[in-house]
Structure formats: C-alpha cells, structure tokens
Structure 1
Amino acid sequence: MSRGSFVFTSTALRSLELDEDMLERHKYKKQLTSHHFNSYMLKKEIRDRTPLRFSTDTPPTVCQDVVVQNALYTGDLEAMQHVFPRGSTVNLIIEPQGGDMRWVPTGEGLWSLSYEQELTTPLHITAGRGFTECLRLLLQRGANVDLAPRGTTALHESCENCQPECTKLLLIHGANANALTEDGLMPLHFCTSPESVGCAKYLLQYGAAISGRTLDEGDTPLHVAASNGLPEHTELYLRYGAAVDKQNNEGVTPLIAACSEPQEVQELERYFKVCQKLLAAGADVHAMDQDKNTALHKACKNVNPDVVDLLLANGACVNDMGYGGEAPMHNILKVVCYKVSHHPERIVRALLNHGSIRVWPGALPKVLKYCCGSPRTIEVLLNAYSHLKVTDTWVESVSSEMLKEHKEFYESIFSLAQTPRSLQHLARFRLRTFLEGRVHKVVPKLDLPTFIKNYLLLEYRGYVH
C-alpha cells in the first residue's frame, strides 16, 4: 500500500456518502437562496420604478409604545383608528416587552442576562389573533403584507393560528401564498390542525403550490396533513393533485408518515381516515423508507388496530424485515405494556392470522414479563403454539400486581407445566398450520358454526388450555 492510500472500509464509504448528501443539501440551499435573492431584487427594481402611493415604500420603524401594543394585542379597533390615522406609518416592528430570559453577548467577552425579544408586526399580531377588522384597517392604511421581521409573514401566522378570514383577507391584498420562512416552510406547511382546513382552502385558491417541499425534510403539504392526522386536509390536497406516493428526504411517503406518528386513543380514528383516503387514492402499501420500514411496521409500533387491519386488507406483508431485522410482530410486542388501552391484542391476532412469524419459544418468558399487563395479547400469542414448556421462570416473569389482577388467567398458563395442551387446541393448531397465511381468507368461508370459526381465528376466552 502506497503512503498516500488508505483502507477503504464500509465506515469510510458511509462517511463519504454522508459528505456527498451534505454537499447536495448545501447546493440546494444555495440555489434556493440565490433564487429568492434574485426574486427580491427584481421586485425591488419594479417597486423602485413605481411612483410612491403607500406607506409600504418607507422602511419599517421600531415601535416600543405600550399604547400601540395594547391596542393591537386587544384588537381595539377604535383605539387603532386613533393610533393609525390616514397617512400614518403602519409598517412597524414591534418589540414586545417580557419573554424568556437568555444570555446575550455584550462585547469584550461579556454576557448579559436579558429578555428574549421576538420581533413582530401589527399585521402578525392581528392576523394571528383573528382581529379581522383591525387587520383590514392596517391593510387599508398600506401595510406591507409580506413583511417578515423574524422570518415568517402574517400569512404564516394566520395559518398557524387557524384564522381563515384573516388568511383570506391577506391573500386578497396580495400576500404571497408560497412565501418561505427561514426554515423553508410555506403557509400550507403551517396548516397542522383540523381547524386550519379553511386556511388551506384559501391558500390553494390563491395559488399555493401543492407540491412545495420543506427545505430540511422535503415534506409536502400532504406529508404534513398525514403526519398530523388530518383527513379533510388530505382529501383537499389529493383533489388538488398532490402526489400520493411522493417520498421526502428520508424516503417516507404520506402513508408511512400517517402511520409513524404517536397517537392517543382519541386520535386513532383520524389517522385511520387519513390512511383510508390515501389508499383509496392509490398509495403503495409496500413502499419502504430508508430503513426499509413499511407503513405496517409503523402502524404496529404506534398500535393502531384499525389501520393495521386496513393495511393487511390492502395486501401489506406481515413478514417484511427492516434494516434492524425486525418484522411488524416485533414492533407491536415491544410497546404492548405502554399501549394496553389501544388494544394491542387485536394487532397480534391479525398478524398471526395473516401468517406472521412467531416468537422463538425460548423468548416467551421475556415477552411474558413485558406484556403481562395485556392478558389478551399473551393469550393470542400462546395459542399460536402446540406445546409450551412452562417453567418457574414463567411464574417469576409475571409481576405480583398483574398476577393478583388476572389471577385465573395466569394460573391457567402455569397449570400447563403439568398438563399438555387440550386436544381441541391441538386440532386448531393443526388446521392453522395447514392453512399457513391463508387463515384469514379460508376460515370465514368454512361451513362451520360461528363460534368454531372464531375459535380458529384465535378469539379471546380469558384462559389458555
């Protein structure tokens, strides 16, 4: 090996790939900055050639007047008419008093603890608080509709705070529907709650780019709607031509994004409706992100049973492995103890009925330890085996609290240390083994009583036999 060479390892290759990715992102940011600068200079040239008519041609001035701030923050229209008479300057930079304390440099290596001031404007204040008439007054006085002292415009503010009437008013007066913040976010990216759908509608009517992507993550508005569980936004964006399988910088599609977010019990239905609309629009259920995780992996991790059933009904593969070698079954078993109220047993049952791999028998005591808070999950899991080698380790794996709360159930498991599985269960196991991954398709079609079909599909009984 020459003195100028080095060992080209997989680590070095990965480092070079990361460097290349960083250079690409830097190049993209540089191009975007150049584009905005050129656009700004062009607008400035046009503005300089236009005769002065409004106060927008004068640079904004800093205002610390408490009277002015009180009128703005309270939406006092009468007071604002006195504060901003015709011909007055309305392009103000407001420095609110108070805020969070932070250390700031004062020069010569010294630092001072001062209040953090977030600069804003009268338009931002009124638009963000829904003071429509006050906002109209400012716009009539010639306020600069796209002024952005801290990187966001009043339009971003109105969308973030779900103020559709203010959003409409700003757009009517020429606000840029595709204005970018310093972080590369458009107003559509600020529509993150169900109440913001009115703002999103107005933005699209006034030319907002449905395919606009955030600078850092590369998320489209559809990604944002999906990750926030917004079915109305999702339907709206799809109607305007949003790409249903567009991947962001990490390879995440809107469907994967909808399944990736942690969800409270009251939010499960919203995310289910989003997934329904995406799949109806042709979303690819087999799409994978950079870590080779599918929407099913994510739905299992966040324990949304209805979404799991929906994905399986649309052909999702139960045994796809991510880069970490984990199948959907691994993901659900790791979070059972945290998501008992989400009914994780439904997911374990659905995965097994669709042919999912099972846990290695030697690891069952460990699973019992971490999943004992959900007896139904344990029941479904154990009924996928013909024989169980129950030992003292099994008994020790169940906490005394869970053992007391579900005494009869766990005693039925521990009794299998002396007795084999029942003949009825062995017959079920044999039939399920013969059908393999077709259990969910074949069993419902069998000419059998309903209670037998439910038994074959691992319905819960409250004990193991």
Structure 2
Amino acid sequence: MSEPPGAVTGKLRISSKLDPERPLASHAPIARFYTALVTGDLRSLQVLTERYHQDVNLVFEISKNELEWQVKSQASYGLSGLWALEERRELSTPLCLAARHGHPDCLRHLLRRGADPDLAPGGRGPLHQACLGGHSDCLELLLEYKADPNLRSEEGTAPLHLCTSRGSLRCATLLLRHGAAVGLPSEAGGDTALHVAARHPCGAANAELARLLLRRGADANAIDYDGVSPLGWALQGAASHRELRPHRTVQLLLNHGSRKIWPAAFAKVLKSCAAVPEVIEVLFNSYTQIPVSQEWAEAVPEEVFQQHQPFYESLLALAGTARSLQHLCRSAIRTHLGSRCHSLIPLLPVPKALQDFLLLEPEGVVL
C-alpha cells in the first residue's frame, strides 16, 4: 500500500474564476514552487529549493474549487438539481507533481536532494502519476532511484495497472524490467494488468502491450472478481474501438491458450461485435465446430450485414453443415499445441500463409 499521509508542510489554494475573493498568491514562495513543478521550470525550482524548501519531501495540501452537480429531487423530465461549488482537497508531493506533468529534469533535481520515490500522501505515488501520463522518461528515472514497481495506490492498484495511455508500452516494459509482478491483481476488482490492457485500448500499441504481458508470463485465463477473463473484456470493448484493431488482442489471447466463451453465448458476442467482423471471425475459427443458428442472422443489424456482406454470407452459410477439412485440420493442430500456439506455429516448416491461417489470421470469409 502507499505511504500514509505525512504532516502537511505546505498549503496551496488553486481558486477558480468563480472564487475571486481568494486568488492564488502567485508571489508566495509556495505558489512559485508549485508553478515551477507543474511547468517544469528547473531554474526556478533550484532557486526555490535552495532558499525556501530544503525539505523536498514536503506535503502539499492543494485546495481546488470545482463545480459539482448535486441532485435535489426527481422531476418529470429526469433528475432535478443544481451546480454547486465544492472545495476539493488533494495531498501531493513535489515528486508526484513533477512526475504527473512529465518533467524529468525536475524529478532528477528532487531525487538528488533526497526525495522519497515512494512517498504517496495523496494515495498515488510518483510511479502511478508517471504511468497515468505515459511519461516513460520520468518512470525510468524513478525506477533508477529504487521506486517500488509494485507499490499499491490507495485504490489498490499497482503502477502496471495504470498503463493505459499511448506511452504505456515503454512504461510497462520498464516496470517489468525492474521487477513488477505481471500477475498482481488489484485489490478492488481483482483485475491484472492483462485485464486492463484488454479493457482499455491505448492506440496502436494495444496488442503489443498485451503481447508483452503474455510474453512475461501473464495468465490469459486470469479471472477478476466479476468472473471476467481478459478475453471477456476484450470482446466487451471491441465494437467501440474498431480503429484500434481489437481482433489482434483477441487473437493473441486465444493463441496463448485463453479459454473460449461458452458456445451458447456466441450469439450475444455476435450482437455486440457484429460491426467488427474480424473479431467474430477470429473467435469463430477458434472452435472446432459451433452450430450456426437462425438467432445469429437476427443478431446482425441489416446495415452491418450489407457493409460486410461477403463475410456474413459465408458465416451464415455454415448453418447445418460441417466445417471444411482445412479448418478441422487447423483445429486439430491448435488443440495439440494448446497454449504454445503463439510460439510453436511460427517454427513449423510451412509457408507463412499457412502459419497465419493456423494463428487465426482473419481472411474476410470463413470456410
């Protein structure tokens, strides 16, 4: 768990425009110190540290005024309420602020002066903040100064759980290199980093992040507290992230031995993922034989069917028929190789096109 809050040694109020009576005193050393950390002004930070803030482990209490919708009553058109100005208090440290905003030079200055890389009075440590922003250069520096890669936040998450931005691949690589536990579950939901990678696409590197975690021993069949596997999460979010090619993550998980969904539930997956036929194709081809029913045809919206007509015609044409011998041979090979499909199939002395077929590479139609 993170460090318990220490004594507050600096107070700072960040006032909104709606609170003009208590503006931020920008001339005060504590305010200038905060500004230097947020903006990455190393020179000012050095001067202020020397003159006023020799203790680089000081704890900020940052007060912010934020608008919050407060429900008052049930109206005929919905919930009735009003916007109220609420004061929020946040505890932080200079190191957390510099890591959150991605300023490695400021981090280095603070660390050289003895800043604690694991101090987390606000619930999240500097590593958590660096991961949230995808600031891999800051992360690397913190790890060099022996920050704990498995430090849990107040919510019970490790830094690896927060690798959800576009800079996540390098952040995750660094964390694993420095001893992060790849299968560590979060305390709140029991999800692993692989669950997070499957649930939160982070750009083109999404499948590569899943690949990295699987290569380092992540369990493709880990179940969170809701009983959902990484494959389950990948399927749930596929339709909203088609541009990120979610079928790659589904393919990776299946090639690493992920258990398939219950065949009777395939119609539900088809209904939610119909707009991403690559996902449907990869998942369908992972079964030796699965009955195609009329319910499947009803699950595909007409406009989606028209947009991907060749694929859905080939899929629905398999109703009441056996799969091709070619597919059955693929299934037999995959069953024999099990969770080692990803590593052994590329070693087979067969053409690349056949290797891709065995690895469930989508072709746009099913046989």
RMSD: 2.4
- Partner Cα separation in structure 1 for residue 145 and residue 13 of structure 2: 37
Q: What letter is aligned with 1:295?
A: A
Deviation at 1:244, TM superposition (A): 1.6
Q: Which residue number corresponds to residue 185 of structure 2?
A: 288
Structure 2 residue 63 is the aligned partner of structure 1 residue 145: no
Structure 2 residue 210 is the aligned partner of structure 1 residue 301: no
| Unaligned ranges ≥5, structure 2 | 62-89
Deviation at 1:437, TM superposition (A): 1.2
Deviation at 1:323, TM superposition (A): 1.2
CA contact (8 A) 1:171 1:206 kept: no
Deviation at 1:193, TM superposition (A): 5.3
Q: 1:213 aligns with which of 117, 120, 128?
A: 120
1:401–1:168 Cα change, 3 Å? farther
The 5 Å alignment of 1:8-407 reads 32-33=6-7, 99-100=17-18, 115-123=19-27, 145-146=29-30, 153-175=31-53, 176-182=55-61, 183-192=90-99, 195-215=102-122, 217=123, 219-258=124-163, 261=164, 263=165, 267=166, 270-290=167-187, 291-303=189-201, 304-407=206-309
- Partner Cα separation in structure 1 for residue 245 and residue 22 of structure 2: 44
- Partner Cα separation in structure 2 for residue 418 and residue 325 of structure 1: 32
Deviation at 1:272, TM superposition (A): 0.4
| Unaligned ranges ≥5, structure 1 | 1-24, 41-92, 101-114, 124-143, 147-152
Structure with more of its chain in strand, by fraction: 2
CA contact (8 A) 2:102 2:135 kept: no
CA contact (8 A) 2:127 2:159 kept: yes
- Partner Cα separation in structure 1 for residue 159 and residue 13 of structure 2: 38
CA contact (8 A) 2:314 2:365 kept: yes
Q: What letter is aligned with 2:191?
A: N
Deviation at 1:388, TM superposition (A): 2.7
- Partner Cα separation in structure 2 for residue 436 and residue 308 of structure 1: 18
CA contact (8 A) 2:57 2:116 kept: yes
CA contact (8 A) 2:99 2:126 kept: no
Q: TM-score, normalised by structure 2?
A: 0.83
Q: Percent identity?
A: 31
Q: Which has the larger radius of gyration?
A: 1
- Partner Cα separation in structure 1 for residue 274 and residue 334 of structure 2: 25
Deviation at 1:187, TM superposition (A): 1.5
Structure with more of its chain in helix, by fraction: 1
Deviation at 1:245, TM superposition (A): 1.6
Q: TM-score, normalised by structure 1?
A: 0.66
Deviations 1:71-130 (A, max 9, x none): xxxxxxxxxxxxxxxxxxxxxx9999x812xxxxxxxxxxxxxx454432233xxxxxxx
CA contact (8 A) 1:95 1:117 kept: no
1:118–1:432 Cα change, 3 Å? farther
Structure with the bigger RCO (C-alpha within 8 Å, sep 6+) is 2
